Amino acid sequence: MKRTHNFNAGPAAIPLAVLEKAQSELIDFKGTGMSVMELSHRSKPYEDVHNKASQMMRELMDIPEEYEVLFLQGGASLQFAMIPMNFLKSGSPAHFVMSGVWSEKALAEAAKLGETAVIGSSKDDRYTFVPEKFEDPSEGSYVHLTSNNTIYGTQWKTFPKTKLPLVADMSSDIMSRKIDVSQFSLIYAGAQKNLGPSGVTVVIVKKEMLENANQEIPSILKYATHSKQNSLYNTPPTFAIYMLSLVLEWMKEQGGLAAIEELNERKAQIIYSCIDKSGGFYRGHAKKESRSNMNITFTLENEELTKAFLKESKERGFSGLNGHRSIGGCRASAYNAVPLEACEALAEFMTEFQKKHR
Amino acid sequence: MKRTHNFNAGPAAIPLAVLEKAQSELIDFKGTGMSVMELSHRSKPYEDVHNKASQMMRELMDIPEEYEVLFLQGGASLQFAMIPMNFLKSGSPAHFVMSGVWSEKALAEAAKLGETAVIGSSKDDRYTFVPEKFEDPSEGSYVHLTSNNTIYGTQWKTFPKTKLPLVADMSSDIMSRKIDVSQFSLIYAGAQKNLGPSGVTVVIVKKEMLENANQEIPSILKYATHSKQNSLYNTPPTFAIYMLSLVLEWMKEQGGLAAIEELNERKAQIIYSCIDKSGGFYRGHAKKESRSNMNITFTLENEELTKAFLKESKERGFSGLNGHRSIGGCRASAYNAVPLEACEALAEFMTEFQKKHR
Ligand SMILES: Cc1ncc(COP(=O)(O)O)c(C=O)c1O
Ligand SMILES: Cc1ncc(COP(=O)(O)O)c(C=O)c1O
Ligand SMILES: [Mg+2]
Ligand SMILES: [Mg+2]
Ligand SMILES: [Mg+2]
Ligand SMILES: [Mg+2]
Q: What percent of chain A has pLDDT over 70?
A: 100
Q: What is the pLDDT of residue B61?
A: 98
Residue A75 CA, ligand 1 centroid: distance in Å: 7
Is pLDDT above 90 for A144?
yes
Answer yes or no: is B3 within a domain. Answer: no
Answer yes or no: is B9 within a domain. Answer: no
Q: What is the pLDDT of residue A325?
A: 86
Say if residues A239 and A48 touch (Cβ distance below 8 Å).
Answer: no
Answer yes or no: is B11 within a domain. Answer: no
Residue A229 CA, ligand 5 centroid: distance in Å: 20
CA–CA distance, B329 with B347 (Å, rounded to integer) = 17
Q: Is B333 on the interface with A (CB under 8 A)?
A: no
Q: Give residue A206's Cα distance to chain centre.
A: 19
Distances (CA, A) of B173 to B9, B156, B308: 11, 10, 29
Q: Is B310 on the interface with A (CB under 8 A)?
A: no
Give A358's pLDDT tier (boundaries 50, 70, 90): confident
Residue B237 CA, ligand 2 centroid: distance in Å: 18
Say if residues B36 and B46 touch (Cβ distance below 8 Å).
Answer: yes
CA of A244 to nearest chain B CA: how many angstroms apart? 12
Closest CA to B80 of A218, A199, A11: A218
Same domain, B221 and B298: no
- The last residue of a domain, from among B221, B253, B285: B253
**Contact at CB, B11 and A37, closer than 8 angstroms:** yes
Same domain, B104 and B186: yes
Answer yes or no: is A1 within a domain. Answer: no
Cβ partners under 8 Å of residue A131, min gap 6: A97, A98, A99, A120, A121, A122
CA–CA distance, A97 with A125 (Å, rounded to integer) = 14
Same domain, B230 and B265: no
Residue B169 among the catalytic residues: yes
Q: Determine which helix (DSSP H) or strand (DSSP E) holds B155, and give its type and residue range.
A: strand B154-155
Largest CA distance in chain A: 63
Q: What is the pLDDT of residue B82?
A: 98
Looking from the CA of A161 toward its CB, the CA atoms found within 13 Å total: 2
Pairing status of strand B116-121 against strand B154-155: unpaired
Say if residues B321 and B332 touch (Cβ distance below 8 Å).
Answer: yes
Same domain, A227 and A130: yes
Tell me, using a 6 A CB cutoff, whether residue B171 lines ligand 2.
yes
Residue B102 CA, ligand 5 centroid: distance in Å: 5
Q: Is B302 on the interface with A (CB under 8 A)?
A: no
- The last residue of a domain, from among A234, A253, A272: A253
Residue A102 CA, ligand 6 centroid: distance in Å: 10
Given A30, A125, A157, A193, the catalytic residue:
A193
pLDDT tens digits for A71-112?
999 999 999 999 999 999 999 999 999 999 999 999 999 999
Residue A193 among the catalytic residues: yes
Answer yes or no: is A184 within a domain. Answer: yes
Q: Check the CA dihedral B26-B27-B30-B32 and report its sign.
A: positive
Answer yes or no: is A239 within a domain. Answer: yes
Closest CA to B165 of B224, B58, B83, B91: B83
Tell me, using a 6 A CB cutoff, whether residue B333 lines ligand 2.
no
- The last residue of a domain, from among A218, A234, A253: A253
Tell me, using a 6 A CB cutoff, whether residue A150 lines ligand 1.
yes
Nearest CB to A235; choose among B22, B37, B198: B198
Residue A306 belongs to domain with CATH number: 3.90.1150.10
Tell me, using a 6 A CB cutoff, whether residue B150 lines ligand 2.
yes
Q: What is the pLDDT of residue A326?
A: 86
Same domain, A288 and A347: yes
Cβ partners under 8 Å of residue B314, min gap 6: B321
Closest CA to A11 of B313, B140, B237: B237
Q: What is the pLDDT of residue A91?
A: 94
Mean pLDDT for back-to-back runs of 10 residues, chain B (358 residues) = 92 98 98 98 98 98 98 98 98 98 98 98 98 96 98 98 98 98 98 98 98 95 98 98 98 98 98 97 97 98 95 96 92 98 98 95
Same domain, B57 and B44: yes
Name the residue type at position B296: I
- Over residues A158-168, the mean pLDDT reads 98
Same domain, A267 and A127: no
Shortest-distance atom of ligand 1 to CA A75: 10
Same domain, A233 and A215: yes
Same domain, A163 and A289: no
Same domain, B46 and B91: yes
Q: What share of chain B is helix, strand, coil (3-state, %, to 5)?
A: 40, 15, 40
Answer yes or no: is B271 within a domain. Answer: yes
DSSP B127: T
Q: In chain A, which ranges are E strands?
A: 5-6, 67-72, 94-98, 116-121, 142-146, 148-149, 154-155, 166-169, 186-190, 201-206, 282-284, 295-300, 318-319, 330-333
Tell me, using a 6 A CB cutoff, whether residue A235 lines ligand 2.
yes
Residues of B in contact with A109 (CB under 8 A): 218-220
**Contact at CB, B2 and A33, closer than 8 angstroms:** yes
Q: Whose CA is nearest to atom 2 of ligand 1?
A: A171
Sheet holding B282-284, edge to edge: B282-284, B295-300, B330-333
Nearest CB to B221; choose among A2, A32, A81: A81
Residue A43 belongs to domain with CATH number: 3.40.640.10
Q: Determine which helix (DSSP H) or strand (DSSP E) holds A259, and give its type and residue range.
A: helix A256-276
CA of B358 to nearest chain A CA: how many angstroms apart? 30
Largest CA distance in chain B: 63
Distances (CA, A) of B248 to A13, B76, B110, B195, B336: 27, 20, 32, 7, 11
Q: Whose CA is nearest to atom 7 of ligand 2?
A: B76
Cβ partners under 8 Å of residue A147, min gap 6: A155, A156, A159, A168, A169, A170, A172, A173, A174
Given A169, A173, A222, A267, the catalytic residue:
A169
**Contact at CB, B78 and A220, closer than 8 angstroms:** yes
Q: What is the pLDDT of residue B325?
A: 85
Residue range of the domain that includes B270 = 256-357
Query: Which of A261-270, A325-334, B112-121 shows the lowest per-residue confidence on average (mean pLDDT)?
Result: A325-334
Closest CA to A176 of A161, A159, A193, A192: A193
Residue A169 among the catalytic residues: yes
Same domain, A318 and A333: yes
Tell me, using a 6 A CB cutoff, whether residue B147 lines ligand 2.
no
CA of A1 to nearest chain B CA: how many angstroms apart? 7
Say if residues B344 and B7 touch (Cβ distance below 8 Å).
Answer: no
Task: Compute chain A's Rg from CA coordinates.
Answer: 21
Say if residues A162 and A186 touch (Cβ distance below 8 Å).
Answer: no
Answer yes or no: is B105 within a domain. Answer: yes
**Across all residues in chain A, what is the average pLDDT?**
97
Same domain, B90 and B193: yes
Cβ partners under 8 Å of residue B168, min gap 6: B144, B145, B146, B147, B159, B184, B186, B187, B188
Q: What is the pLDDT of residue B326?
A: 86
- Domains contained in chain B, number: 2
Q: Could you tell me the end-to-end alpha-carbon distance of chain A, in angstroms, rounded to an integer?
A: 34
